[in-house]
Amino acid sequence: MLLSYKYRIEPNRSQTAALAEMLADFCGLYNAGLQQRIEAYRRRGVSVTYNMQAAELKAVREAAPELARWSFSAEQQCLRRLDKTYKAFFRRRYGFPRFRASARYHAAEFRVGNGLTIRKSGRLGFVGIDGEIKVCWHRNLPSDPNSAILTRQCGKWYVVFHVEVEPVPSRTNNGESVGIDFGIRHLATLSTGEPIARPNWTKRAKREIRRRQRALARCKRGSNTRAKRPAALARLHERIANKRRDHLHKVSRDLVRRFGWIAIERLNVKELLSQPYMARDISDASWGQLAAMLAYKAENAGCEFIAVDPQATSQTCPGCMAVSEKKLSRRIHRCPCGGVLDRDVAAAMVVHHRAFNFWPGAGHGALSETDASKLAPEAVCFS
């Protein structure tokens, strides 16, 4: 499996300026390639492909000395990036590629050993950048990387290495199983009845976000202060995102360590975000990010990870499997069969059953209808 390892790099002042120039030149190459595709189709009806543009790249470098000083393979990646956006546009039929501003072009792809090298000193070397750049190696790479991405985030520079890792033998026979229901009141609820708290980082920082946004709005356009305020606001949002990501990493790691069989709902988060009264809380919970972390960590740990159809999981009784509509404000599940328990726990139990075809705590085998009917009267309310 392919994993990404992210490290902070610390270039000096001249290296920082050179890296910024490199990204600006790559942005210009991207925009030139986009302009060529648009004009070729508008004037002559010709669809320009990546191979056509890559064949002209050598002549372009000879005509533009500012491009000749950078890595040839990295500039090829710029053209591949443009080609990916075109293919994505034709696949989804909306979102035509747009010209990029150099201030918003923050990443470049490299091949390790061709454009970017890891020196024996542990520092990085880039083609066209003088000297070596210090790297904060907070953890070791499991193997030699094949590719890397240089990225700039809020004035800080990072490098992301792509590393191929050998799959771990499955340990599902030794681990317990769990169903997970994502929510807003709690980040997630397990089929064991355990809720996982949602810190709600955005709500905690709401007052500071409002203060910095108002300070930005009061600034005169074109002033020096106006140029500083967006960076201060971006740093605050970065801090919030780092706290959220750190919490999700800890939660996902703990779940993978405890359970060998993990089941979640296959949610369409993008569609859920279209609901205005829930969009902010759903974005702050980051269900999609947590699901992605669980997926790759489970694979790396040899766990079984399954995403099930989310339809009516919160409307289904885990005791008799009857479906009854419930409003979102109704937090306790009550069924005529006698089942009374927390709504989120009931949904997590249904997710567990859909994934593994047995109820939590019943072992790796399907329950009979008689055994399933006994589950609800013994259930406990976790509210």
In a shared domain, residues 150 and 196: no
% of the chain surpassing 90 pLDDT: 62
In a shared domain, residues 254 and 346: yes
Three-state SS annotation for 164-227: ECCCCCCCCCCCEEEEEEECCCCCEEECCCCEECCCCHHHHCHHHHHHHHHHHHHCCCCCHHHH
- CA dist 29 and 48 (Å) reads 15
Q: Would residue 181 show up in a list of annotated catalytic residues for this protein?
A: yes
In a shared domain, residues 104 and 42: yes
Is residue 170 included in any domain, yes or no? no
In a shared domain, residues 50 and 15: yes
- CA dist 164 and 145 (Å) reads 7
Residue 146 per-residue DSSP state: S
In a shared domain, residues 285 and 356: yes
Is residue 169 included in any domain, yes or no? no
Is residue 270 included in any domain, yes or no? yes
In a shared domain, residues 131 and 235: no
Of 164, 194, 223, the last residue of a domain is 164
Q: What is the per-residue pLDDT for 363?
A: 52
- Write the CATH number for 345: 3.30.420
H helix count then E strand count, the chain: 12, 14
- CA dist 73 and 57 (Å) reads 10
Is residue 262 included in any domain, yes or no? yes
Of 144, 164, 184, the last residue of a domain is 164
Instruction: Give residue-wise pLDDT tens across range 139-150.
Output: 999 999 999 999
Q: Which pTM does this prediction carry?
A: 0.82
Of 164, 192, 211, the last residue of a domain is 164
Is residue 339 included in any domain, yes or no? yes
Q: What is the per-residue pLDDT for 374?
A: 34
In a shared domain, residues 28 and 154: yes
Q: What is the per-residue pLDDT for 365?
A: 43
Is residue 171 included in any domain, yes or no? no
In a shared domain, residues 160 and 33: yes
Is residue 357 included in any domain, yes or no? yes
In a shared domain, residues 237 and 373: yes
- CA dist 59 and 42 (Å) reads 24
In a shared domain, residues 102 and 145: yes
Q: Would residue 265 show up in a list of annotated catalytic residues for this protein?
A: yes
Determine the structural domain holding residue 87 and report its residue range: 2-164
| Active-site choice (75, 284, 304, 344) | 344
Distance of CA 279 to the CA centre of its chain: 17
- CA dist 155 and 103 (Å) reads 11
Number of domains in the chain: 2
In a shared domain, residues 215 and 241: yes
Instruction: Give residue-wise pLDDT tens across range 178-229.
Output: 999 999 889 999 998 899 999 988 888 999 999 999 999 999 888 888 888 9
Q: What is the per-residue pLDDT for 271?
A: 85
Q: Which amino acid is at 89?
A: F
- CA dist 221 and 227 (Å) reads 9
| Active-site choice (25, 75, 265, 304) | 265
- CA dist 354 and 308 (Å) reads 7
| Active-site choice (181, 284, 304, 342) | 181
In a shared domain, residues 182 and 281: yes
Q: What is the per-residue pLDDT for 166?
A: 83
Instruction: Give residue-wise pLDDT tens across range 41-61.
Output: 999 999 999 999 999 999 999
Is residue 123 included in any domain, yes or no? yes
Q: What is the per-residue pLDDT for 381?
A: 29
Question: Which residues in the chain show pLDDT less than 50?
Answer: 364-383
